[in-house]
Structure formats: C-alpha cells, structure tokens
Amino acid sequence: MSPAARFRALPLRSRLALLVAVAVALAVAGVAAVSWVMVRTQLRDQLDSALRATNAEAQANQVYRSLGCVSVTGALPERPANNLSAQVQIVLPDGGHCWVDGRSTLRISSTDLEVAQRRRGAALYDATTSDGVAVRVYTQPALLDGRAAALTVAKPLSDIEKPLSTLAWVLLLVCGVGVVGAGAAGLWVARTGLRPVDELTDAVEHIARTEDLTVRIPDEGDDEIARLSRSFNSMTAALASSQDRQSQLIADAGHELRTPLTSLRTNIELLARSEETGRAIPPDDRRELLASVKAQMTELASLIGDLQELSRPDAASPGPLGVVALHEIAATALSRARLRGPELAFASDLEPWYVRGEAAALERAVVNVLDNAVKFSPPGGSVEVTLRAGELTVRDHGPGIPAADLPHVFERFWRSESARALPGSGLGLSIVARTAARAGGSAELRAAADGGGGTEAVLRIPGAPTPPPSDPSVVPDQ
C-alpha cells in the first residue's frame, strides 16, 4: 500500500492531527533554521570585528626588533608573554614567516603573500592550523621596522561553534516539544471538533439500522457543524413526515377501498349464487345489481386514479408544460358538468386567461371543482361559473360547508358528515389544491359571499389575458 493510501486509510481525526503536527514541524523547523543561521552570522560578524580590532602590530614590531624574525620550521622557542588572546604570525613578502604568539603555526596561503606583497588589502578567511584546529584568519598589511610584511591574526572557530552547537540542541528540543504538543493539540481539537460529526454518524447508523426517524442531534452554535446538524434534523423530520403521510395515505386508502369492495363482492356473490342455484333474480333486481356493480367499479377506478395522482411526489417532474387557455378548459369542464347534472341550471362568464402549466392536471382540477358543485346542488338548483383576471369561481346553492369544517376540506380523504353518504373518495379537493400550488396559484373554499347559501370554490392561477409573445403556442383542452 502506498503512503498516500495508508494516509487516506487513517481516521479523519488522526489525519487532522498528523497534518497539524507536520505543519507545525515545518514551521518550527523553518523558524529554527532561520534563527540558527542568523545567530551564526551574528557570531561570525562579532568574531571578524574582534579580529580587526586586535592591536597586534605594535607587539609584532617589538618582537621583531628584539628577536628578529624567528623561523618556525623547527621547534618553537620560548615566546614572550602577550595579552592578545589570538594567534599572531608575521608573513614576509618572500614567503618567509615567523611567529609572534600562538601555540601552533598557520599555513601560508596565497592570500597572505598577496597582502605581504601589497597586491591586495586586508582579507578574512577560514583556515586550519598545523595541529588541525579550525580558525578564522584576518590578514592585514603591516610595517615591521620599516619593512613591508603581512600580519595574520587567527582565532579558533570553536569560540562560535560551541554556542551554535548548544543553540542547535536547544532548538531541536524546542522543535520536538512543539511538534509533540502540536500533535496532541491537533488530536484534541480534532476530537472536540468532530464530536458532532461522530454524533451525526451514530445517528445515521442508528437510522439505517432501526429505521427510526425520530433521532435528533444537538445543533448549538452557528458554525458549519451546527448547520449540518440542523440540516440533518430537518431532513429526518421531513422524512418522518413523509413516512407518516404515506402510512396515513395507505391506511385511508385501505379504509376507502374497503366499502366499495365489500359492496361489490356482495353484489357479485348474489349474482354468482343465482347462477349456481338456478334461482333467477327478478329482472328489475338484476338490473339494479348490475348498475350497482358498474357504479362501484367506476368509483374504484376514480379512487385508484386519485391515489395515483396523489402518490406522485411534490418534487416529481410534472407532465408536459405549456401555455394553457384556462377559459377553454373551464368551458370543456362545464360541458361535462351539464351532462352529469342535467336537472341543474348552469351560468358562465369566462374571460380569456392564459396560464403556464400542465393542461391535463388543470383540467382535472376544474372538473373536480365542478363535480363537487353538481354533487351538492339540490335538484333544480343552479351553478354559476366565472373567470376574471385569473380567478375561477364556482358557486353552488347547496347546503354549504360548516365554518368548523373549512380548514379541513383540502385534507386527503376528509369528508364532512353530510357528504359521507354521497359517492366520492375525499381526494378531489386535495388534488385541486395540489394542482393549483404546482401552477403557482392557490385554491380556496368559502361560504357564498352574497349570503344566499351554498359554497364558492375559488382557483387563483397567475397568468395573462393574452398568450405571451415568446411562446405563441396555446395548449387547449384535449
């Protein structure tokens, strides 16, 4: 397994802690390296300044006058005492050299000869003594008893290497402590910061294991984790609500299907028993049974269609959308309503109104509203239909709806006490409200405004009295 794959296999908190530790290590190492280089540069500058400030020329002249230039090729003679705290050596233009002070000699370099011969000025460089000690050398022109020469002054580099070595160990220790501390702090921060994520993970695993959508997690604060927690809680609440609605829909559908199915089964059993026993059913009774079977099958088909319509999720893609002539749809639905209620008087005033929506769904909604008006209108009653400025109003003269029932009329399977004996599933107005909302409008059921009894059903759908120029196609009633 590659290092990258091994890193990705680590838990998230371990990866965060490792990344923090590496980042801190790089930062501390960078700061430590820069600090060490700056201190080293400062110490070398101080050493160079000390070499330049060494006043060795006067003592070198004194030694030179009293002893001459003593060769150092052999054993070193006893040297005079001095207070220079440095190694001093005289270099002559011909390459000869002698000592002034020091326990070891310095190798003569080309730089020293150039300075002694006056071919260049003073110079600073690193060198090694005859006994292998690393030194910093400063070579400067000098006059010894009037003769040109060069004077080299050297100090051991150990004067700065020891402090630098100590500093390096201190910085290394600080880096180690910093990295360990950063790793521990990163692990603690990761554990603390990811605790809500752990709770969220536990909640998701619990839901996957038990299908319990009542689980909620704390959502204190306003950070990203709190927002994620609130979104998760909202999602589970929405799922729980959807699940409850589905369960309620199934329960209500089962209840609504039971009655027509029981009646249908009874009628079919009567017909089957008549065939089995050979006892003929009177023609009038047989016709009544067959009409009842047909009506029950029609009711079942209508109920199943309504259930299919309501089973479509709200976010599902609707059918083909287009510019719909709402007044034409209302006129077609009105023609069908006249066939269902031939004993009723219908009046209409439909102004042109074009909306954007699903033609089939809008037609179904208008038909449902008119069917309700026909169903609750007394024989010989009247139904008025008007469409003005996008507001379709269907007014009947039936018994009306009690004020206490108005908030429930658009609920699925809800039926008032007076309507339970009438055919229907209780889904029609739910479909009306849903269709209006999908078209960007609304649906309302209210008592008739003129106080003459009955109910007004109002559909408000945004649109315009003329088709939009950008889309001249109009979807009329099919």
* pLDDT for res 109: 86
Residue 365 and residue 292 in one domain: no
Q: What is the mean pLDDT of the chain?
A: 79
**Highest mean pLDDT of the ranges 50-64, 111-125, 178-192:** 111-125
In a domain, 90, yes or no: yes
Considering only residues 59 and 364, tell me which one the structure prediction assigns the higher pLDDT: 364
C-alpha closest to that of 431 among 375, 358, 347, 382: 358
> For residue 38, is it within any domain?
no
Instruction: Give the domain CATH number at 138.
Output: 3.30.450
Q: What is the predicted pLDDT for the residue at 326? A: 93
Q: Do 296 and 360 sit in the same domain of this protein? A: no
Q: Is residue 27 part of a domain?
A: no
3-state DSSP assignment of residue 322: strand
By three-state DSSP, how is residue 420 classified?
coil
* Closest by CA position to 104, among listed 122, 81, 139, 79: 79
Is 252 domain-assigned?
yes
pLDDT at position 350 over 90: yes
Question: For residue 335, what are the contacts with CB-CB under 8 A and spacing of at least 6?
Answer: none
- The residue-averaged pLDDT of 240-261 equals 73
For residue range 5-51, list pLDDT tens digits in order: 777 777 777 787 788 888 888 888 899 899 999 999 999 898 888 88
- Looking at the structure, do residues 335 and 296 belong to the same domain, yes or no? no
Domain-located, residue 26: no
Q: Are residues 246 and 307 in the same domain?
A: yes
What pLDDT does residue 316 have? 47
Please count the residues of the chain. Answer: 478
394 confidence band (pLDDT: 50, 70, 90): very high
**Burial (CB count <10 Å: 0-12, 13-18, 19+), residue 150:** buried
Query: What 3-state class would DSSP assign to 398?
Result: coil
Q: Are residues 343 and 425 in the same domain?
A: yes
pLDDT at 387 over 90: yes
CATH of the domain at 407: 3.30.565.10
* Residue of 64 and 216 predicted with greater confidence: 216
- Domain holding 66, by residue range, is 59-71+83-159
If asked whether residues 328 and 307 sit together in one domain, one would say: no
Q: Are residues 289 and 367 in the same domain?
A: no
> How many separate domains does the chain show?
3
Boundary residue ending a domain (311, 329, 362): 311
Specify the DSSP element, H or E, that contains 153.
strand 147-156
Q: What pLDDT, on the 0 to 100 scale, is given for residue 345?
A: 93
Give dist(CA 356, CA 324) in Å, integer.
6
- Asked whether the beta carbons of 91 and 112 are under 8 A apart, the reply is yes
> Are 445 and 363 within one domain?
yes
The pLDDT score that the predictor gives to residue 256 is: 63
414 domain residue, yes or no: yes
Q: How far apart are CA 161 and CA 21, in angstroms?
A: 30
Please give the Cα distance from 413 to 424 (Å, whole number). 9
Note whether 151 and 122 are within 8 A (CB): no
Longest dimension (CA), the chain: 162
Residues 156-172 pLDDT 10s: 888 888 888 999 999 99
Q: What pLDDT digit, counting tens, does each position of 59-114 carry?
A: 566 555 544 554 443 333 444 444 456 788 888 888 777 765 555 667 888 888 98
